[in-house]
């Protein structure tokens, strides 16, 4: 029988008045709950102040708020859940094979050779494989390899996984595998905040931390007025976040105050949906964890991967509304909206900041912001394969899509823009040391300031387009061009190739394509260019220029 505790009536102890410290009573009630128990907090009139950390240790509970509040009353993480893994089994070899599974034919998977056949794994177990090898392309100095999988087959000491490990060459040092035990938490219907004065006292810790949850569920939660992350999902498997709101979280990195609404630190298969954020640093962000070699905290290994953020909005964030760091892998943002993100203190001013690999942005929108999508690279090869599909922007003041490498010798490859409609007062594409492919896209570019670049800006980059339509007819200044090329540092390292480009120019535009300052040497090839008026086609450009055009009145 599931045990239910009504916390508001528990031991005549908790006050729920926002003044008295209720942390010891809440910890006692959680400790008393059996595995799978329910703790009812008692309703919207209750504010439980926690002056010390409350921890759920390796058991499943359901925290039911019905509108009750938890108030952080000290400078530390307020509520922490720790999941559980089985005792780790050492792995002496990791390799790929193509076994035949019943009813599934031949597939290519990873095989683990354990040091012994004496283990308790079974087919269908969710396991995590970790090693002390450092994560490649991570900003965390001691981020280490790790990822989840499902056991498909067992033959003695051989453990066949259901997939190929994505970083298979990073499992060489102290490789271990453990089952992720079915210990989890559900939190439903609570409010989270910090005590008055937290900002003046420079507190800098988050509110709820879920470490290693197995399919944890957090829903119907409102977070406000705190100095750290509202919710941190650390190394979880298949989390669900639903109907999360966060407002007024401090953004002051100098004091280690990172007011994220939600942060995903090395989880996999997470889904976050129907979220709303106002005046926070990032609404959603992710990265990896630092972990000491040999740690048994398996949730701290690995990178955030296979995540989905959908149907969510962010307004007036103090940094990028939605953010991914270098460790992100195979995530997607679907039907998300960012508005009013402007460049300021510690802020890129972007609706989306993208770092990582194999990221998808579909049906997303950015309004009244400095940058729409800012694609960055901090380590060689850490950002590639980005797809922006059927997205929309309006009122962008710097660049709709900015692709900019931050490390010498690196190059961002595989940036694709497919469909969509965009409105910018400045650049549509700003590409530096990158490869960008744009197809079937409409752009409105009413330039409102003199001396701006033009909708397409290329610095030592390769740009390809097909069926691109640009309307510049409402521009207030004429000393602009469609394509601006700057190649002073890396002459001859750019190319622009495309077909079916249609441009509506304002009166007196000073050229179609122009180099910046001195001659820019590269390749400019445009087939089927359609302009509405005569204009010089290539200025300050040397190298190959092939332009076929159909000019009309």
pLDDT above 90: residue 494: no
pLDDT band of 536, cuts 50, 70, 90: confident
**HEC string of 147-168?**
EEEEEEEEECCEEEECCCCCCH
Q: Which of 160, 179, 198 is the last residue of a domain?
A: 179
**pTM of the model as a whole:** 0.95
Q: Does residue 174 lie within any of the structural domains?
A: yes
Write down the pLDDT at residue 9: 76
Same domain, 79 and 194: yes
pLDDT above 60: residue 39: yes
- Higher-pLDDT residue of 235 and 197 is 235
What's the CATH number where 190 sits?
2.160.20.10
Write down the pLDDT at residue 1: 54
Same domain, 5 and 130: no
Q: Does residue 6 lie within any of the structural domains?
A: yes
Q: Work out how many domains the chain is built from and give that number.
A: 2
Same domain, 197 and 137: no
Question: Per-residue b/e over 442-470, b at no fewer than 16 CB within 10 Å?
Answer: bbbbebeeeebbbbbbbbbbbbbbbbbbb
Q: Does residue 411 lie within any of the structural domains?
A: no
Domain boundaries, position 102: 89-179
pLDDT band of 307, cuts 50, 70, 90: very high
Same domain, 57 and 136: no
Same domain, 171 and 95: yes
Same domain, 147 and 238: no
pLDDT band of 348, cuts 50, 70, 90: confident
**HEC string of 301-319?**
CCCCECCEEECCEEECCCC
Same domain, 211 and 115: no
Same domain, 201 and 291: yes
pLDDT above 90: residue 449: no
Q: Which of 311, 330, 346 is the last residue of a domain?
A: 311
What's the CATH number where 135 sits?
2.40.30
Q: Which residues contact 149 (CB under 8 A, 6 or more apart)?
A: 110, 126, 127, 128, 129, 161, 162, 163, 165
Q: Does residue 59 lie within any of the structural domains?
A: yes
Q: Does residue 153 lie within any of the structural domains?
A: yes
Q: Does residue 297 lie within any of the structural domains?
A: yes
Write down the pLDDT at residue 553: 44
Same domain, 12 and 64: yes
Same domain, 151 and 193: no
Same domain, 205 and 297: yes
% of the chain beyond a pLDDT of 70: 93
Which sign, positive or negative, has the C-alpha torsion 309, 212, 171, 115? negative
Q: Does residue 401 lie within any of the structural domains?
A: no
First to last CA, the chain: 81
Q: Does residue 67 lie within any of the structural domains?
A: yes
**pLDDT tens digit sequence for 60-80:** 999 999 999 999 999 999 999
- Region 184-206: mean pLDDT is 90
pLDDT above 60: residue 322: yes
Same domain, 147 and 288: no
Q: Which of 287, 311, 335 is the last residue of a domain?
A: 311
């Amino acid at each position: 029988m599931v045990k239910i505790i009504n916390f508001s009536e528990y031991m005549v102890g908790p006050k729920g008045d926002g003044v008295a410290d209720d942390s010891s009573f809440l910890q006692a009630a959680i400790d008393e709950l059996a595995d799978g128990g329910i703790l009812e907090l008692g309703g919207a009139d209750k504010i439980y102040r926690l002056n010390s950390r409350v921890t759920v240790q390796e058991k499943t509970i359901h925290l039911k708020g019905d509108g009750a509040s938890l108030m952080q009353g000290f400078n530390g993480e307020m509520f922490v859940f720790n999941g559980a893994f089985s005792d780790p089994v050492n792995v002496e070899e990791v390799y790929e094979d193509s076994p035949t599974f019943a009813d599934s034919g031949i597939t290519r998977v990873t095989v683990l050779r354990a040091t012994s056949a004496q283990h308790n794994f079974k087919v269908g177990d969710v396991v995590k494989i970790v090693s002390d090898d450092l994560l490649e392309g991570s900003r965390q100095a001691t981020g280490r390899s790790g990822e989840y999988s499902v056991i498909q087959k067992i033959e003695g000491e051989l453990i066949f996984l259901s997939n190929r490990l994505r970083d298979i060459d990073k499992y060489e040092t102290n490789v271990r595998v453990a089952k992720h035990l079915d210990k989890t938490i559900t939190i439903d219907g609570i409010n989270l905040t910090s005590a008055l004065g937290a900002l003046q006292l420079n507190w800098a810790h988050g509110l709820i931390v879920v470490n290693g949850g197995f399919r944890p569920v957090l829903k119907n939660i409102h977070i406000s007025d705190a100095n750290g992350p509202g919710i941190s999902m650390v190394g979880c498997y298949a989390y669900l976040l639903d109907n999360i709101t966060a407002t007024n979280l401090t953004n002051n990195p100098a004091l280690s105050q990172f007011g994220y609404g939600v942060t995903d630190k090395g989880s996999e298969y997470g889904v976050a949906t129907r979220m709303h954020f106002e005046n926070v640093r990032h609404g959603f962000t992710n990265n990896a964890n630092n972990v000491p070699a040999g740690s048994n905290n398996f949730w701290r290994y690995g990178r955030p991967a296979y995540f989905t953020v959908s149907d969510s909005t962010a307004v007036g964030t103090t940094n990028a509304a939605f953010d991914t760091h270098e460790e992100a892998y195979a995530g997607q943002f679907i039907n998300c909206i960012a508005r009013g993100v402007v460049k300021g203190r510690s802020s890129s001013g972007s609706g989306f900041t993208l770092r990582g690999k194999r990221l998808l942005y579909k049906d997303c929108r950015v309004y009244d912001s400095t940058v729409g999508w800012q694609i960055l690279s901090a380590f060689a090869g850490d950002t590639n394969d980005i797809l922006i599909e059927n997205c929309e922007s309006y009122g962008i003041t710097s660049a709709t899509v900015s692709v900019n490498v931050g490390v010498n010798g690196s190059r961002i490859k595989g940036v694709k823009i497919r469909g969509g409609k965009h409105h910018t007062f400045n650049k549509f594409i700003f590409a530096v040391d990158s490869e960008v492919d744009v197809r079937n896209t409409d752009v409105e570019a009413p330039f409102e300031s003199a001396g701006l670049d033009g909708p397409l800006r290329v610095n030592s980059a390769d740009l390809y387009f097909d069926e691109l339509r640009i309307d510049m007819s409402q521009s207030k200044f004429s000393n602009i061009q469609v394509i601006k090329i700057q190649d002073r540092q890396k002459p001859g390292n750019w190319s622009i190739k495309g077909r079916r480009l249609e441009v509506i120019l304002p009166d007196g535009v000073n050229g179609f394509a122009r180099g910046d300052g001195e001659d820019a040497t590269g390749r400019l090839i445009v087939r089927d260019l359609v302009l509405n008026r005569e204009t010089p086609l290539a200025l300050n450009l040397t190298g190959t220029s092939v332009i076929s055009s159909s000019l009309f009145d």
